[in-house]
Amino acid sequence: MLEKSNLNHGPLSIGDILSKELQLGPISFERFMQICLYDPLYGYYVKPRKRIGYGEGTDFYTSSTSQPIFAELIIAACTHLLGSEKLSHYTFIELGAEPNQDNPSNSGGILNGIKNPFKASLALGVKDHYKLSGPSIIFSNELFDAQPFKRFRFSQGRWKELGVACVNNTLKEVEISSVLPNYLPAEAEEGYHIDSPEMATSLLEGLVSQPWTGLFIACDYGKSWDVLEKETPQGTARAYYQHTQSNNLLDNPSDQDLTCHICWDWLRTVLEKAQFKTINLQTQESFFVKYCSDWISTEISKEAGSFSPRKRALMQLIHPAHLGAKFQILNASRT
């Protein structure tokens, strides 16, 4: 059994599951993440707990924390992109929706309790199967960066995949034998890391292969492949635990968030192959200013002379010093 200081424990726990998995030797980091984040009982994103927000016990905040303003901005953007007269033909489908905090068993989503112009709205959580068809608006907020990823390190003239092993009853990062992907650069500086979001790309391939038309809107954070292979020597993997970012990826399994930057180039290529048009990638600030300027002007006018909670939330979402520059939004359409 792995040390209790390294894993949570109980009659049955993530520690037991990892111990069984590691009995035969090291596992890939991607597999480690799959267990820690998505185990059907103990996964970080599966357990009924509040992860997102500013309060005690939460680990990070995101755009959806600024409700209802975030949802209203997304509705305004959809209105601009599709036209108000067409919205009633579309079903708004949020993927990877956070549960309703008042009722964790219910996937609430950003439109929960908010009046909207769509034909219907559906919030699908991480346990749900994604069966998509018909005129739809497929929306996600930090879904793709939450997918398990592979880790590679350039060492002694070649790339090696990194995995997780149990060494002296403690989780350790180790090199593992694997078939290396051909997209890794031929050369890199010693110790260079690439955290490869292959599963994020596979997720999108599965989504766009289904028979739906309409809008795709993904709010997330990522980088181009050129930046990932040349300008991030330490990789982009990080952990979030109680609002503290760290590189201690193996600590607190299933109790901390694990994430890395997605590769926007890979997602754009998937959309192009699936016949999507008008593919745009912008900062969150640019996206909302471009598609929601009238709505923002009206909202600011209503709040003139004050700095109400609504105006504070709006500034949090669009100001470049806050979330406006931290997140990007990839949007595209398919008819």
pLDDT computed for residue 6 by the predictor: 47
**Sequence-ordered list of residues with C-beta below 8 angstroms from that of 297, at least 6 positions apart, any chain:** none
Measured distance CA(322)–CA(318) in Å, rounded: 7
Instruction: Please check whether residues 217 and 310 belong to one and the same domain.
Output: yes
95, 128, 208, 244 from 217: Cα distances, Å: 10, 19, 12, 28
Residue carrying structure tokens 């907020």: 141
Q: Give yes or no for residue 156 having a pLDDT over 70.
A: yes
Nearest C-alpha neighbor of 14 from the set 164, 149, 152, 125: 164
CA 331 – CA 329 distance, rounded (Å): 6
In tens, the pLDDT along 222-274 reads 999 999 999 999 999 999 998 889 999 999 999 999 999 999 999 999 999 99
Cis peptide preceding 197, ω within 30 of 0: no
Confidence band, pLDDT 50/70/90 cuts, at residue 102: low
Q: Is 34 part of any domain? A: no
Give me the CATH number covering residue 101.
3.40.50.12710
In this structure, are residues 145 and 262 in contact, taking their beta carbons and an 8 Å threshold? yes
| Domain boundaries, position 250 | 1-26+150-196+223-260
State the pLDDT confidence band at 309, using cuts at 50, 70 and 90.
confident
When divided into structural domains, the chain yields a total of: 2
Give the residue with greater pLDDT, 7 vs 301: 301
Question: Do the beta carbons of residue 22 and residue 166 sit within 8 Å?
Answer: yes
- Chosen domain end from 209, 231, 260: 260
Q: What percent of the chain has pLDDT over 70?
A: 93
The answer to the question of residue 36 being in a domain is no
Give me the mean pLDDT over the 202-220 stretch.
97
* Of 117, 66, 60, 122, residue with least CA distance to 87: 117
Q: What does the pLDDT look like over 57-83, one tens digit per residue?
A: 776 767 677 779 999 999 999 999 999
